[in-house]
Amino acid sequence: MAEEVKVLGLWQSPFVMRPRIALSLKSVDHEFIEETMYPKSELLLKSNPVYKKIPVLIHNDKPVCESLIIVQYIDEAFSSAPASILPSDPYDRAIQRFWAAYIDEKWFPSLQKIAQAENEDAKAAALEQVKEGLSLLEDAFEKCSKGKPFFSGDNIGYLDIALGCYLGWLRVVEKMNTVPLLNQEKTPNLLAWAERFCADHAVKDYMPETDKLIECAKAMLARSKAAASS
């Protein structure tokens, strides 16, 4: 019986990139359904009635929600595929899950604060937090990769997906603020890793163009300011 796999989301969402990359690594074809969001579609509300958020993976009519949970599900549901996304060693799995949680709960919110900053002091503070986080992740890369090209070793894995999905938006922040957050001086390993990640066959078709993301960022900021003033 053929597998029916759909991903509900938005092209610009870093979280939606995660299941699409995971499916690509597993060589699983999927249908991408662009979500409307304004208003939210009936399919989204039906598939994710608790959080009402994207992405949603729909596998043979069964919805799975939350991006990192979806990635883990894909790894297990398509275990016969040659690529393994999560490490086989329990300790290595725990470490990658730890850093993935840090990225989502601590680092990415700091990146968002740069765009949301109401003054230059707030922006400078957020930039410093992002830089500090990248320094920690630079060290994590050295330990996790063990001298290999990716966090997971020779191939893209769980932690690579968790951080790599934000690279498009990181480039937006760099370009809009003329600041090289990934650079040869402070984060040489992450800089080289980012280039490898974005060029990988499983990733390159899903990595948004920076200029398109900048247009999207400007539209979101305008919408946010309009909502705040109304």
Is the predicted pLDDT of residue 147 greater than 60, yes or no? Answer: yes
Choose one of 77, 105, 123: the last residue of a domain. Answer: 77
What is the pLDDT, as a whole number, of residue 7?
Answer: 98
As for how many domains the chain has, the answer is 2
The CATH number covering residue 17 comes to 3.40.30.10
Task: Report the share of the chain in percent with pLDDT over 70.
Answer: 99
> 110-114, 154-158, 225-229: lowest mean pLDDT where?
225-229
Residue 219: inside a domain: no
Stretch 29-46: mean pLDDT: 96
- Residue 177 belongs to a domain with what CATH number? 1.20.1050.10
**In a domain? residue 228:** no
Q: How confident is the model at residue 225 (pLDDT cuts 50, 70, 90)?
A: confident
So what's the pLDDT on residue 2? Answer: 66
pLDDT of residue 85: 98
Backbone angles phi, psi at 33, to 5 degrees: -110, 115
Edge-to-edge strand order for the sheet containing 31-34? 31-34, 5-9, 56-59, 62-65
Residues 100 and 207 in one domain: yes
Q: Are residues 113 and 64 in the same domain?
A: no
Q: Is the pLDDT higher at 104 or at 3? A: 104
**134 and 175 inside one domain:** yes
Instruction: Identify whether 229 is part of a domain.
Output: no
pLDDT at 171: 96
The range of the structural domain enclosing residue 40 comes to 5-77
Residue 122 lies in a domain: yes
Same domain, 98 and 72: no
Task: Give the mean model confidence (pLDDT) for residues 135-152.
Answer: 98
For residues 57 and 98, membership in a common domain is answered with: no
**Where do the H-state alpha helices sit in the chain?**
14-25, 42-47, 67-77, 90-102, 108-116, 120-145, 158-164, 167-177, 188-199, 210-229
Same domain for 167 and 63? no
For residue 23, give both structure tokens.
């499916």
Confirm whether 72 is domain-assigned.
yes
pLDDT, one tens digit per residue, over 81-96 is 778 999 999 999 999 9
Mean of all residue pLDDT scores within the chain: 95
- Residue 122 has a pLDDT of 94
Are 68 and 170 within one domain? no
Residue 115 scores a pLDDT above 60: yes
3-class state of residue 18 by DSSP: helix
**What integer is the mean pLDDT of 162-185?**
96
In a domain, 230, yes or no: no
Place of tokens 């984060």: 187
* Residues 31 and 61 placed together within one structural domain of the fold: yes
196 or 223, which is more confident: 196
pLDDT in tens, 45-90: 999 999 999 999 999 999 999 999 999 999 999 998 778 999 999 9
Does residue 53 form part of some domain? Answer: yes
